[in-house]
Amino acid sequence: MKIQIRRIDKINLYDFVYSILLFFSLMIDENAFLAGKLQGRYVYYMNVIAIAFSIMYIGIKRKKISTIINKQYIHFLCPYIIVFAWSLLIGFIRTEMPIAEVFRSGLYWFAPIILSACAVTIRGYKAIDVTYKVVLINYLCVIIRCIQNNGLGYLFNLRNYFDNYASLLEVHTIGLAVALFLIYYYYEADQKNEHLPTKFWLGTLVMFMCFKKIAIFAFVAIIFIHMFLKVKINIALKSKLKIFIGIVLIASFAYLIAVKYNLIQQLLEIIGINTMTRIETWQELADYYDISPLFLGHGAGFTTYHFKSIGGIYINGHWNTVGDAHNDILKAYIDFGFICFVLFISFFTVGNIRYYIKKRMNKTALLFALLITYTVILMFTDNIIRYDLYLIVLYMIPVVCATNEIHMRGEGK
């Protein structure tokens, strides 16, 4: 019996269970496996199961819970809690949708972030590599399934990547989140003046095969931004935070105005950009908000509920089912309202970065600034703030970096 226990410890029971649950949660949204067979909410139910297992594991192993980690995750959760409370109030006042939708939206935020906290508490810095390995192994299974369906030659036809609509290789969750790992590994290698590790190049290959254009563009942009910021890290971050949030808010409201008054469709038609039905989806929501400080919002989950309730929209004379708005900026504004939107975006961007600057964690502040900037770029074209993998990794990386930075300074636990 003792020998068996030792073997389980070598494998690490937590890594095994966490990996299995994360692996199958990724499968739920993948065209290669379970897409359409299970509702998306099952992903978050698996998060809850993983959280329950984590809590039991912490109790059985009597793991010491770090106040350093807890404080960071409480800070991350604050804007979501405020938005959730506001949405409940709006939901009771307006009664436009079932209150259950607000709770469901809360689950989409809280479950991944809490699971991220559990994983870091139990596995520390190893949590990032364990999560990354699950992503790579899962995508390897996607590749194998693609070869089974389309043949090996499919992988070597570049046209299948540049025009990959409905391709098995286009995994939204992984395609958008893998760059977070790449930014982290790139940043770590740069800090240590080392060559980029093999795992970085494997992730780069996965990002290309998923070929999420906005993710590739944003990742390349982040590399150039890092080259600029790292020259004078303290001055750059402290002096440019106000400029950063100003740019984000101006861009957000410029976009909201453009959608409201149908300007964005005219602009993109002139440029010749194919938004893959996004324009029509955004225009459907134009009548549900006003550009005014008095706009209170409809409550978290409203936009998703709206599309679910109407069943779909007409695009070029054809009825199309729409699951989401593919734009977190638009969704957040309609759901949260003017004031809550400004507060949320400000806290999510500058608030998170300033938190680490005040703690004198400049390395973590710069890394998180890169992750946040990448995220903001994606928010204009996708709905990433509800992806569990994205939220797990987005908050896992800075906490690990900050914890290491604190320990390097020899400060308390």
- Tens of pLDDT, residue by residue over 245-270, are 888 999 999 989 988 887 876 776 66
> Residues 321-330: what's their mean pLDDT?
81
313 forms bridges with which residues in the sheet? 320
SS3 string, 144-201, reads HHHHHHHCHHHHHCCHHHHCCCCCCCCCHHHHHHHHHHHHHHHHHHHHHCCCCCHHHH
In a domain, 351, yes or no: yes
Per-residue model confidence (pLDDT) at position 395: 97
Read off the pLDDT of each residue in 151-162 and give the average, rounded to a whole number. Answer: 87
Phi-psi region of 143 (alpha: psi -120 to 50; beta: other; left: phi over 0): alpha
List the domain range (segments joined by +) for residue 57.
2-408
State how beta strands 318-320 and 313-315 pair. Answer: antiparallel
- pLDDT value, residue 238: 62
Q: Give me the pLDDT at residue 7, please.
A: 41
* Residue 185 CB-half CA count within 13 A: 19
Say if 113 falls within a structural domain.
yes
pLDDT band per the 50, 70, 90 thresholds, residue 9: very low
Dig out the tokens for 380 from the structure: 């204009």
Domain-embedded: residue 213: yes
Residue 226 lies in a domain: yes
Higher pLDDT pick, 236 / 330: 330
- The answer to whether residue 166 scores a pLDDT higher than 80 is no
- Is 139 inside a domain boundary? yes
Note whether residue 273 is domain-resident.
Answer: yes
Q: What is residue 387's DSSP assignment?
A: -
Pair 377, 218: CB distance under 8 Å: yes
Residue 245: predicted pLDDT: 84
- 188 or 319: which leads in pLDDT: 188
Query: Which contacts of 244-250 are long-range, i.e. CB under 8 A and separated by 24 or more positions?
Result: 244/349, 244/350, 244/369, 244/373, 245/345, 245/346, 245/349, 245/350, 248/345, 248/349, 248/376, 249/342, 249/345, 249/346
83 against 381, higher pLDDT: 83
> For the purposes of burial, counting CB atoms within 10 Å of the CB of 368, is it exposed (0-12), middle (13-18) or buried (19 or more)?
buried
pLDDT at 274: 58
The rounded distance, in Å, linking the Cα atoms of 214 and 377 is: 8
Based on the structure, what is the number of domains in the chain? 1
In a domain, 331, yes or no: yes
Among 211, 214, 112, 202, residue whose Cα is nearest residue 171: 211
Summarize pLDDT for 48-90 with one digit per residue, the tens: 999 999 999 999 988 888 888 999 999 999 999 999 999 999 9
Find the range with the poorest average confidence among 22-26, 110-114, 267-271, 355-359.
267-271
Residue 413 lies in a domain: no
What's the pLDDT at 3?
Answer: 40
Share of the chain above pLDDT 70, in %: 88
Rounded-to-integer distance, Cα 208 and Cα 205, Å: 5
Report whether pLDDT(2) > 50: no
pLDDT attached to residue 90: 93
Task: State the Cα–Cα distance between residues 90 and 225, nearest whole angstrom.
Answer: 39
- Residues 200-219 have a mean pLDDT of 94
